[in-house]
Structures are given as C-alpha cells and as structure tokens.
Structure 1
Amino acid sequence: MPNPQIPVIVEVCVGDVHSAIVAAEAGADRLELCADLSVGGTTPSLGTVRTVLRHTRTPLRVMVRPRGGDFHFATSEAEAMRTDIAALRTLDTDRIEVVTGGLTSARHLDIPLMKSLVDEAGPLPVVFHKAFDEIDDQEEGLETLVDLGVTSLLTSGGAATALEGAARLHTLAQRARGRLRLTAAGGIRAHNVAQVLRHTGIGEIHFRSPSSGSPETTDPGGVHAVLEALSPSGRTGPPHPGPRR
C-alpha cells in the first residue's frame, strides 16, 4: 500500500461537461478538462469551462493547446494560446490552473513561448503538460520551468507509463521538492496506482477512465476503482465538497 502519510490527490482527465460531472461525483479531487482527447487534448470552449465550473466545485485544470500533433507552435498559434489564457482569467481564478506547454523544433523547451504564457496567466498557476516527456535533459528542463514560474509538472518521467518511469519520477520529485509540484501520469489504473505512489514518492496522480462504448467519455467505475485501491490507508487527500446542484 502507499505511504499513508502522503496526501494523495486524484486528478481525472475529462473531455466534456457530463464527464466532468461524473468524475466529480465519483470523488475526483481535481479535473483536467480538455477537448479532443483522441489527439491528447486541446483547448476546450469557454462555454464548456464555464458550465463545468457552474456544475462542480472541484478544482479545475484547463488545457490550453491549439491543436493535436507536435508541440512546436507557430507565432499565430502562440497568440491564440495567450488569448485563451486571457479568457480563462475572466473566470473563477480561485479554482483554475492552466495546463499548457511548448517545445522548439529540436524538442527543447520553448522558453520565450513559456515565458509569454506564464506572464499572460498572471494569477493563474501554470502546469506544464506531458510535452515534457519528449525532452532529453529532464532535470535541466525542470530547473528551467522553476525559473519560468511554472508551478506544476505533469509527466511520466519520459517513459510510456508512470510505472515504467518511476525511477526518473522519483528523481524529479526529489529535485523539485518545495519548488514545483509533480503529478504522475501515464497508464495509471486501480491495479498499479499503489505501486506508482510507492516507487515515485509523488502524491498526485492523473489518469483517464474511458467508457468502453465511448472512449471520449468517463466511466465512473474506473474512478471508483482507483479510489478504492487507495482506501483506507492510502487515501488521505483533501475532503471533496462534491458537485454543485
């Protein structure tokens, strides 16, 4: 079982309003809201974000990514990302974090882009997404993100899954301690979540729970299964206020 002293935060990735409500009702501590999950997630509409905020009380991470494909963005795409972030700043800034990221054509961190996005976010915390797994020197990359003011990092340690990347995740977590929060992601399910927590020392996990008939929507059963795998000793995260009615 995971260390009961580690407060586990369970984040569920969702692709629409109904899935967000389902995941919140199932007990998720935090949601990541995207569009186009089939391509790894893109920016959801402002209407979708507003509606999720209205129907849940769960902290919300919102993807800002203009398209699927690679993470090397043109000047016009960067402008669209800043515009989307500016729109998010008009909403409930106490509950929203921005999930974003960008790389150069050589797959290094795009430092000018990230600086502009962090500056645009203003009071909103910025999470660098799994584009981080494509860079070679992740320890140097982590230091760069800290210097840029990024507050959180979503990663599998450069591996296909969080469990395969557990050793690297542990190293990154030790290096980031007190300066940047890590969320472990990639292939996390009920059968391996305890191992991920134990081997990485990271107390935040991110996963999808796709429905068998509609992979873009969320199956509450998968969320319940992960939460049950963390109970009782491994589930010490913050109390969840439940959905708004």
Structure 2
Amino acid sequence: MTIGLEIPVFGASAASKAIELGASRIELNASGSYSDGGLTPSLEELKGSSCVRVPLRVMIRPRGPPSELQARDFIYSDEEFAQMETSIQRFKDAGLLNEGRGDGFVFGILKESQDAAETGTGRRKCWVDKERCNRLVEAARPFKTVFHRAFDEIVSCDDTGVAIDDRHAWRIGLDDLAACGFDAILTSGGLGNAIQNVAMLDRIITRAEVFEIEIIVGGGVRKHNIQRLSQQLKLKERPSTYVHSACLSNTVSEGFDVDEAIGVLLHLG
C-alpha cells in the first residue's frame, strides 16, 4: 500500500510547489510561522492555496508556544479560543474549502489537571480539553478535523519508567479524541521525533484503527530515517497511512529542499 506524504506549507506560494514535489496532502500555515510550530493563515493565504488538487488542511492556532519557562503550550485563554472559533467560521464562510476533496482543519486544545500531580518534568499532567474541542469539531463540520501534536504533550504525561503497555494517559487521550469526533491525529508518539518513539507509535496506531482514526506520523521525518520508520511501523501494511514532513532546506526561508522531498518519496511508494 502506498504511504501518503503530507507536507506543511507556510504561505500560499509554497502549496503548488509542495504538490509538484509529490505531496498528496497539504497543511496550510501562516507564512513565517514554522518556528512557532505553524499558526493560523490569513484568508488571503487560503485564497491563494484553494485551487490545489489535493486535500487542504488549514491550521487553526492563534499563537506559538508561551515564553514563560515551564508553561505548557496548547492551553488557551477565552479570547484565544474565540479567535479559533472565528477563524474556522471565516474560512468556511469564504466558500474556498472543498468537502469532497477532503479539506479540513487542524487544531488542538489541552487543559491541565487541577491537582498537584506532576509528570516529573515540573509540570502538571494534561488532558484533552473535551468541551472546547467538541465545539471546534462541530464548528468545523462537514470538514475533516485533525488533532495536532498537542497529543504528544498528553503522551508525555505517562511515567517513562513504567512499561509501555501499562501507561494510560495516551489511551485516555485517544479515547477522548474519538469521543470528540476527530478524524485524524498528527503525532510523533511523544515529545521529540517519531523515530525516537516507534514503540509508542505502534501502540497508538493500533488502537486508533479500532476507532477508524487516521494517525499521521510526524516529527523529524526525513529521507535518512523514513525507510526505518516505515519498516518498523509496518506502515505499508496499514490502511490510510500518512507521514508528515516539512522537507525544508532551512527554517528561515521556509523553502523546500527538493532532494529531501524526493528522498522521502522514494521510500513511500
């Protein structure tokens, strides 16, 4: 089975280039936002990308990681959440998205535990903010919804000293996302890169198949490790598999590295 390549792009001009290189799906982010992990694009950027022939997934993220030391990302104020709702509605109202093409939105919101239990990293445990995620999933319909790498924060809440099969946070998180109605999850299987978390990714993919949730494997996916990653996860034997790679030459220009993209694609067919 062919493995799909999802390429995140940063600005409208990069979308057509990514498709030329072989992307089978595009994640649209604001220009210049790679260092922030991808932010909500402008309506003009969506207009400039809407003629693509592959599914287009639009990032909904109002800001990058907080500057405060030890503060957790993906936890938003009421004002930031309102911005996310407004962005989804504005993009839908523009009439530029195509349900039949498989277009959709990418977002994720967490909440932290109220008790004093910590993860060993100096931070409280976190979970899916089900109430807010439900609202955004409903706002996004009929378009697809993807929970992004905020999921890796949840995975990291498990005690790494415990055997993988005895860890629970990721299971609870996956169950919550299924209940919210998400169609897919972008994850590296925990903090860090996907190649470092193969065992956990295998567990996540297997459980997600029960819910018919697509797992998009991302995080440091490059031509030098894609073959190993694909083989260890048996990606070609799994239904509806995607990998997520920026294929960038550098993080300043956000320009594609053609050789990198070709190298990744060679191992996906």
Fold-level similarity (TM above 0.5): yes
**8 Å Cα contact 1:16-1:217 kept in structure 2:** no
Q: 1:75 aligns with which of 63, 73, 78?
A: 78
Match of 1:145 among 165, 177, 195: 177
Higher relative contact order (CA 8 A, sep 6+): 1
Distance 1:167 1:212 in 2: 29
Instruction: Give the counterpart letter for 1:58 in structure 2.
Output: V
- Paired residues of 2:35 and 2:251 also in contact (CA < 8 A): no
Q: Any idea what SS the aligned residue of 2:196 has? A: coil
Task: Give deviations 1:82-139, integer Å, cap 9, x for gaps.
Answer: 1111122232232321000011144221111101100101101110000110012111
Report what 2:147 is aligned to: 128
Q: Does 1:66 align with 2:62?
A: yes
Aligned: 1:97 with 2:129:
no
Cα separation, 1, equivalents of 2:224 and 2:197 = 17
* Structure 2 residue 118 is matched with structure 1 residue 111: no
Larger-Rg structure: 2
Asked if the contact 2:153/2:191 (under 8 Å) is kept, the reply is no
Question: Cα distance, 1:213 vs. partner?
Answer: 8.1
Offset of 1:225 from its aligned partner? 1.7
Stretch deviating more after TM superposition (131-140 or 84-93): 84-93
What are the ranges of 5 or more consecutive residues in structure 1 without an aligned counterpart?
Answer: 1-5, 236-245
CA deviation string 1:183-206 (max 9, x = no partner) = 000111111111111222342100
Q: Check the 8 A contact 2:105/2:146 in 1, yes or no.
A: yes
SS for the counterpart of 2:205 is helix
Q: If the length of structure 2 is used for normalisation, what is the TM-score?
A: 0.79
Paired letter, 2:86: T
CA distance in structure 2 between the partners assigned to 1:119 and 1:152 by the alignment: 15
Distance, in Å, in 2 between the alignment partners of 1:222 and 1:97 is: 26
CA contact under 8 A between 2:104 and 2:143: conserved in structure 1? yes
Could you tell me which residue of structure 1 aligns to residue 221 of structure 2?
Answer: 188
TM-score by length of 1: 0.87
Q: 1:18 aligns with which of 1, 6, 13?
A: 13
> What's the offset of the Cα at 1:47?
1.1
What displacement does 1:79 show?
1.0
Pairs aligned (count): 225
Query: In structure 2, what is the Cα distance between the partners aligned to 1:165 and 1:207?
Result: 16
Instruction: Select between 82-91 and 184-193 the one with higher mean Cα deviation.
Output: 82-91
| Secondary structure in structure 2 of the residue aligned to 1:66 | coil
Structure-2 change in CA distance of 1:61 and 1:14 (3 Å): same
Correspondence 1:221-232 to 2 at 5 A: 221-228=259-266, 230=267
Deviates more, 1:165-174 or 1:200-209: 200-209
* In structure 2, C-alpha distance between the alignment counterparts of 1:151 and 1:139, rounded to whole Å: 16
Listed one character per residue, the Cα deviations across residues 191-228 of structure 1 (whole Å, up to 9, x for unaligned) are 11111112223421001122248442323332112112
Matching residue's letter, 1:41: G
Q: 1:170 aligns with which of 193, 199, 202?
A: 202
In structure 2, distance between residues paired with 1:217 and 1:115: 35
Other structure's SS at 1:108 match: strand
Describe how 1:152-163 pairs up with structure 2 within 5 A.
Answer: 152-163=184-195
2: distance between equivalents of 1:140 and 1:215? 39
> What's 2:165 paired with?
none
